[in-house]
Amino acid sequence: MPKVLKTTGLVLVLFAIFFQYSCNTNNGELPTSYYNFPIDTTVQIIQTLPSEINESSGIILFNDNIWTHNDSGDDPIIYEMSIESGEILNRITFAEASARDWEDIAQDSHFVYVSDMGNNAGKRQDLAIYKSSKRDLGNMNGQANAYKLNITYPDRVDFKPQAYKHNFDCEAIIALEDSLYIFSKNHLDKHCRFYTASKTLKNQVLNLKDRFDTKGMVTGAAFNPEDKTLALLGYNLDPEVGNFGPFVWLFWDYPNHDFFSGKSKRINMPVIAQSEGIAYWKEGKFLISTEKSRMMKGKLMVFDAKKWID
């Protein structure tokens, strides 16, 4: 079991100081929607991320270790990190791949999937998901073959929107059975749409399934296979203010994979941090990663979801 780096009380104090600093610096406050939901004060930090992983944007748990990647600005590399020590154990480069804006990573029994669909400016037309065999992740040469899935939205017509004022960004995916499930990050209306995609089709148009008013922007997704709970990580952000108020939406008791048709609950995190990576861990608990900020290095936190589910 990883050593808890901070007590819950100290975590809240540290992030409260960060929150005050952010507000004073940007002359603003978090949106009202952030405060209308319960806050989980039992969230704990269990690890500090190494400096090389300064923008952890997606995480999975594989072979009892964390696998993650940076946001835009890095090479097409996924990092294996020990939960126990926080050390980087391995670096795997996706051969013949690019990393324009890697935003999430997902897995099934045989493959990992890395989403290169980040689109804050709204103008990208080269959206892709890279698929790589788990057998390649242990290669001694540090490289893995990657198969590229080219992605197109079915409902997008404007390719020249104003930056951060559109609904065609995406930072969250999961892999279930024979499909990928893709969740949008809507800058404009703060809703989330979910789409399905094939795991094998090289060029494809997504299938739009549903939408949900998340009252914030979704940045990561994870699935608990034990009780079928879907967790969507996100944050409230005003570009003119600059504060990050993370939250997790939980979805359960839904028919088939129609996630937004069942029960749901939002829980706010007691932090002010850019949180973008989430993965199921064990016993109803999820791991959440944060990016490096002006105040502190990136962190790995534990969120106990089972106590919030009716």
Q: Quick: pLDDT tens for 166-184.
A: 999 999 999 999 999 999 9
What pLDDT is stored for residue 9 in this prediction?
43
Is the pLDDT score of 5 beyond 90?
no
What pLDDT is stored for residue 13 in this prediction?
42
Query: Does residue 281 form part of some domain?
Result: yes
The arithmetic mean of pLDDT across residues 88-114, rounded, is 96
Query: Does residue 243 form part of some domain?
Result: yes
Residue-number span of the structural domain to which 273 is assigned: 8-28+44-308
CATH code of 102's domain: 2.115.10
Query: Does residue 160 form part of some domain?
Result: yes
What pLDDT is stored for residue 35 in this prediction?
73
Q: Is 285 exposed, middle or buried (0-12, 13-18, 19+ CB in 10 A)?
A: middle
Residue 71 and residue 118 in contact, taking contact as beta carbons nearer than 8 Å: yes
What pLDDT is stored for residue 73 in this prediction?
82
* Per-residue buried b or exposed e for 64-77, using 16+ beta carbons within 10 Å of the residue's own CB: ebbbbbbbeebebb
Residue 218 and residue 181 in contact, taking contact as beta carbons nearer than 8 Å: no
What pLDDT is stored for residue 103 in this prediction?
96
- Say how many domains are in the chain: 1
User: Could you give the percent of the chain with pLDDT greater than 90?
Assistant: 76
Query: What is the average pLDDT score of the chain?
Result: 89
Query: Does residue 83 form part of some domain?
Result: yes
Task: Give the pLDDT band of residue 239 (cuts 50, 70, 90).
Answer: low
The arithmetic mean of pLDDT across residues 140-157, rounded, is 92
Cα angle: 30, vertex 271, 282; to 5 degrees: 135
The arithmetic mean of pLDDT across residues 103-122, rounded, is 96
Write out 159-186 in H/E/C secondary structure.
Answer: CCCCCCCCCCEEEEEEEECCEEEEEEEC
Task: Give the pLDDT band of residue 218 (cuts 50, 70, 90).
Answer: very high
Tokens of 135: 């057998």
What pLDDT is stored for residue 157 in this prediction?
86
Tokens of 198: 């094939």
Query: Does residue 1 form part of some domain?
Result: no
Query: Does residue 67 form part of some domain?
Result: yes
Residue 276 and residue 300 in contact, taking contact as beta carbons nearer than 8 Å: no
Query: Does residue 33 form part of some domain?
Result: no
Query: Does residue 2 form part of some domain?
Result: no
Q: What is the pLDDT of residues 12-30, one digit of tens each?
A: 444 444 444 444 334 445 6
